[in-house]
Amino acid sequence: MNQHSHTPFQWRRFRHFWLTVHLYIALTIGFVFVILGLTGICNVFYVELEEFSLPPVHQEANARSLPLDEILQIVKAAHPQRQRNWVLLVPGYGNDYVWARYPKPEETADELFAPLQVLIDPYSGKIISEYFWGQTLWTFIYEVHASLLTGKLGVEIGKIGNDTICFLGLFLFISALTGLYLWWPRWGKFKKAVTIKRGASPERFYYDLHKTTGFYSSIILLIIAFTGFSFSYADYIKPLIRGFSAVKEKHLKDPGFKSKVMTNAQSISIAEAIAIADTVFPEAKLCRVETPDGEEGVYIITKRQPGEANHRWARSKVWVDQYSGKVLSVQDPNQFTAGETFFNVLWPLHNGEALGLAGRILWCAMGFAPLVLYISGIIRWLQKRRISLEKHRKMMKRINLEIGGIESGQ
């Protein structure tokens, strides 16, 4: 036999191997993908959903929002025991309230991530809502998505849970990639491969539903899977990226700057810190203010320059000494290398905001894809299994009849 006569057999074995991989991923952890997809739908708009049940912010004609210094004093007066730093998210991308977050409250210190969140009307200064992360429906769903609630069991267990969820992104990537390979049609069969046949049998319908859903969602699922994996395993990706472009650690982690403590010195106000940041990024929109944590803490002013992929968690940052007002460092995404830009866009690619509102809506729609793929895939597998069992029973019946005929002849 020549070499070419082995090719069809080898191709069938190769295809059967990846079909088995695709099947066992679905049977073992496919349901987890369903949970992550459905919770991810909510997470894309969790800020809007969190404010949906609250009274709308009412702005009087020509009224201006209260200064952040005044809002922070209102929050501190309500929580005088909380002396560490606060993070203020200003109204803008999806939120109408000022969100004040206290990162490490004593009440939830043994949890992986459970800050206190206080929502304040920016015009009246009234505190509308306050809760610990995970106590509202939407933050609970977010925590399911991030760690399957393992963060509630302790910091170390939560880290393991979060890392595990991120690692599953690798299996989702493999599942989507193998599905795309198994779907790939022969020449001239493309139209048939991307449509659902009308009036087809149940077997054909679920087959078509599975393959068409997989095709139309595959690219986005691959993006979501890879970016999700990278959140815990970026250190494994960096060496590959550094082969093409430099990646500086300071753009990916908290650089840990400190203010120079001065005798009898008073901290500058939030307004002054923002004014200093405005000299660095005059055309950028204010997004977030992190107040100093302790005597050596610094102000971190986050703004968003036009064109940034990140919206709510923008990357244009200015670190300001809380006493002298000196600019300690600047992070400008426009100055990132190609490698740093690659890591910078992973988050907005994961939640779709890199493509604006249309992207977020599309990503929400794709959140249903794992559910459709899981149900249609399981039904199709059960159908094939039933057909296989029926063929096996018929074959065994025929064999038994043949054996019976032979014995009766003897």
Q: Could you tell me which residue, 51 or 11, shows the higher pLDDT?
A: 51
Share of the chain above pLDDT 90, in %: 75
CA 306 to chain centre: 23
Token pair of 151 as six digits: 């963060």
Closest CA to 353 of 316, 304, 311, 314: 311
Confidence of residue 187 (pLDDT cuts 50, 70, 90): confident
Residues 6+ apart with CB under 8 A from 280: 318, 327, 330
Position 5 pLDDT exceeds 60: no
The region of weakest confidence among 63-67, 199-203, 251-255, 391-395 is 251-255
Position 153 pLDDT exceeds 70: yes
Q: Do 300 and 319 meet the contact criterion of CB atoms below 8 Å apart? A: yes
Distance CA 172, CA 31 (A): 11
pLDDT digits 0-9 by tens, 308-355: 999 988 999 999 999 999 999 999 999 999 999 999 999 999 999 999
Quote the mean pLDDT of the chain: 91
Closest CA to 95 of 69, 72, 113, 117: 117
Distance CA 247, CA 236 (A): 13
Confidence of residue 271 (pLDDT cuts 50, 70, 90): very high
Distance CA 289, CA 407 (A): 90
Per-residue pLDDT at 1:
44
Confidence of residue 21 (pLDDT cuts 50, 70, 90): very high
Per-residue pLDDT at 198:
84
The stretch 241-256 carries a mean pLDDT of 77
Token pair of 220 as six digits: 């986005």
The stretch 196-219 carries a mean pLDDT of 90
The structure's pTM equals 0.89
Position 12 pLDDT exceeds 80: yes
Per-residue pLDDT at 169:
97
Per-residue pLDDT at 386:
84
